Amino acid sequence: MSVPDIMLSNLAAGTLTAAGSQQVAEMVTDFKIGFFLGTPPRLQWYAQILGCLPAIFLSPGLFILVSKAYECVLDPSQAATCPFTAPAVSLWTVLATAVVEPKLPIPQSSWIFSIGISVFSIAVHLLRNWARENNYRKIYNFTPNMVMVALSLIALVIGGIIALVWLRKWPASHALYLFPVAAGMIAGESIGGIFNAILTLAKVSGPTYYGTTIGCPAGMC
Q: Each residue of 202-219: pLDDT tens digit?
A: 877 766 666 666 666 665
Tens of pLDDT, residue by residue over 77-130, are 776 667 666 666 667 777 777 767 777 777 788 889 989 988 998 999 899 889
- Window from 12-21, 52-61, 87-96 with minimum mean pLDDT: 87-96
Residue type, position 36, single letter: F
Average pLDDT over residues 61-82: 77
Compare 200 and 210 and report the one with higher pLDDT.
Answer: 200
Percent of the chain having pLDDT more than 90? 9
Compare 71 and 86 and report the one with higher pLDDT.
Answer: 71
Q: What is the pLDDT of residue 213?
A: 66
Mean pLDDT, all residues of the chain: 79
CB 146 within 8 A of CB 128: no
Q: What is the pLDDT of residue 166?
A: 93
pLDDT surpassing 90 at residue 168:
yes
Q: Which residues contact 86 (CB under 8 A, 6 or more apart)?
A: 73, 79
Angle at CA 158, nearest 5°, toward 153 and 161? 120
Q: How far is CA 80 from the centre of its chain?
A: 18
Q: What is the pLDDT of residue 85?
A: 64
Average pLDDT over residues 132-138: 88
Q: What is the pLDDT of residue 3?
A: 65
- Window from 54-68, 80-94, 155-169, 198-212 with minimum mean pLDDT: 80-94
